[in-house]
Structure formats: structure tokens, C-alpha cells
Structure 1
Amino acid sequence: MNTQTIMTLIDQYGYLAIVFLIALENIFPPIPSEVILTFTGFLTLTSSLTVWGSIVAATVGSILGAVILYGIGRLVSVDRLSKFVNTRTGRLLRLKQTDIKRAGDFFNQRGTIAIFYGRFVPVVRSLISIPAGMAEFPFWSFVGLSTLGTLLWNTVLINAGCLAGTHWQVVMGWFEEASTIILVGVTILIALLIGRYYYKKRNH
């Protein structure tokens, strides 16, 4: 979905479009929330949309998308993934049931931090809902943390778009650059942690 289509939908359908697009953005990460939210902020100056109404609509859309992905994670579940390791594909990937169990335990221990801060990282903000469901992280805690993190993200971007006015695309570019830097940093960190885990595992 290109930027022009996103802008047209929001301009024509207002809050309903915001809910729909943000829910879709959570399920399909390539749709940029930076575009949706900063343009929405700008529209609060030229349409009947309000800042707080837009924030609420965006937050509702985010939670809808997150809950859908959480449900997918519950369908997969740690138990089903443990059975997968016994298949040929699982053996080729060198997965073990103990690895799956450790991952589930780790998420339940650190999931609060991962779910909240994950809402500020592109791609991660969507995908974090799946392991939360797989690990059977408490549903209402998941919804609460997701709502808080998403509310902060939406508030910042929509207000930034509103303050920037006709220069909202410049602000959008800043957020996109910052998001890219954060994503690269998180990717490197995850790669280092995985490398460290397998290094220790091999030595033991």
C-alpha cells in the first residue's frame, strides 16, 4: 500500500481508516505507521479529526492487530513448536525441546520489558505479539502493556505531525530514519545474544 493510498483513505474515512490502517500495520509491518500517524496529525489541522480522537483510534487499531497476532501465537504454542522439533525440518534446524522451553521461560520472565519497549521498534512492534501468545503470556497483561506502549508511540507521532503542519513529511522522515537506526541496533543486539548463547552452549 503506497503513501498516497494511505493519505486518501484517512482523508475520506477519518477515524475508521485510522483504526483499519494501524491494525493492518501491526499485522503487515511493511506498512509504515510513521506515515499514517504523522499525516493524521497534520489532518487534525485541516479536517474534523481531533488529536485525542486520532490517538484513541490509532491505539484501538494497534491493539486489534496485536490481539490477532497474539491469537496466532497461541495457536502455534510452545507445545506444538516442541513437537515440531521432532520432525525432519526441526532436526535439520538443530532445534531441541529444551531450547524451545528455555525460550518460552525466558519470554515469561522478560516479556514485560519486551512487549512494552518492543512497541517503539519497527517490525518488532508487530512480531512481538506472536512469541507473547506462544509463551501464553497473561492476556490482559499483554493488552495492558501493549496499550501503554502503543499509546505513547501514537501520541508522540500524531502530535509531531500536528505541530509540524504542512511540514509533516519532514518530521515523518526524521522518525523513519530514527526507526531504521533503532531496528539495526536491535538486530545486531539480538544476533550478538544468539551468538553468545550458542557459544556458551557449545563450550558446555
Structure 2
Amino acid sequence: MAKPMMSVGWVLAAETSNVGVQDAYEEARTTLHTQLEQQFPQFHWQMELVQEYRYPSYGLLEPLPLLEMGVHEKLSRGWDFALVLVPNDLAPRARTFTIGVPSSALEVAVLSSARLGGAASLADRIAALALHLLGHVWGLEHEDQSPMCPPESCDILRLHPFSQEQQQSVAHRLAEVADARVEEEDPEISRLRFYWRSLWADPTSVAVD
């Protein structure tokens, strides 16, 4: 029996001439892909990286338009989830700065690599932050250890596997996504159901850092 497909699209939304940053994005994608395959082998993981440069690499970016961009790419490309990456700082709402904004309702997260350090550890930190944000998208809350440790309280972002309890919770969420995909063969019906679920699941999530 074939494994259910689970797709996470990576969208590079801001142009950068820094080859080291570009390479770090690609390396982080590969690293996270391997991590998820190891921890959730019951799914066939697909991670496509696309370049949709709509912003320059300088200046603050508002998270909301980036989340909307992620939703558009997710729906148009048939992904289950989307990560939107930028080298820019994100405009914070309630904090001094923010390095990521997840939305479980939209099934999208925005990640900024602006404050993740130099090239030597950048890829690992991007992968770790991406897993943290996906954890929120998949319904997990902050914890003192594991990938769900709040990034601002961790000395160094490192890629860790989910705990057994977290793994079970995420696996259940992913199975629901896979089952819903089978039921929603019509793309237009799928789109309408997605927006309906988004409205009722968490209507304020996009406003929270």
C-alpha cells in the first residue's frame, strides 16, 4: 500500500544576491526533509523549493502579505503546507523583533533568516526554526525542550526531533490532512473548504507573532 503524500512547499519571497543565504535555504530544506522522513516514515514527504521574488532583500516586511502569498502558492501548487522564507526582518506586532509567524488556520508559516547568524550555522538554524514553526502549524504549543522551545529563550537554535507525545499529535494531524485530501478531489471544493476551515479554526491567528 502506497504511503500518503505529505507536501511542504518552500517559497523564497525576497530576492537576495547572497549566495551563502541561497545555499543555506536549500541545505535547510534537505535537512528538514530528512528529519521528517525519519520521524514520520508513514508518509511520503515532498518538499519543493520555488523562487517567487516579490520583495527586495532590504527593509522590514509585514507578515500578513507573506502569509497571504503562502496561501496562494499552497493552493495553486497543491501543497499541504507552505513555508515562506525571507532574508528581511519581519515587522513585529508585540515584540522587539520576530523571526517567524505561523498560522495553523492557514497552514502556512513565515520565516525570517535575518537574525539567525552567519553562514557556518545558518542552514541548521533555518531548519530548526522551520520545524518549530511547522510544529505550531500542526497544533503544538511551546514547551521547555524539544523543537517547541521558544526560539528567543534558546541560546542556539538546533534541530531536535519531536518528543513521543508531540510525534503522536503531529501524526494524527497529518493523517487528518491526508484523509481530507482524498475526500476533496475537486480543486474548487477543496479551496472553498480550506477557507471555511480557516475562518472557523482560528480567525485571529494571522495577527499573532
Which TM-score applies when normalising by structure 1? 0.31
Structure with the bigger percentage of helix: 1
Which TM-score applies when normalising by structure 2? 0.30
Q: Which has the higher contact order (CA 8 A, sep 6+)?
A: 1
Higher Cα Rg: structure 1 or 2?
A: 1
Structure with the bigger percentage of strand: 2
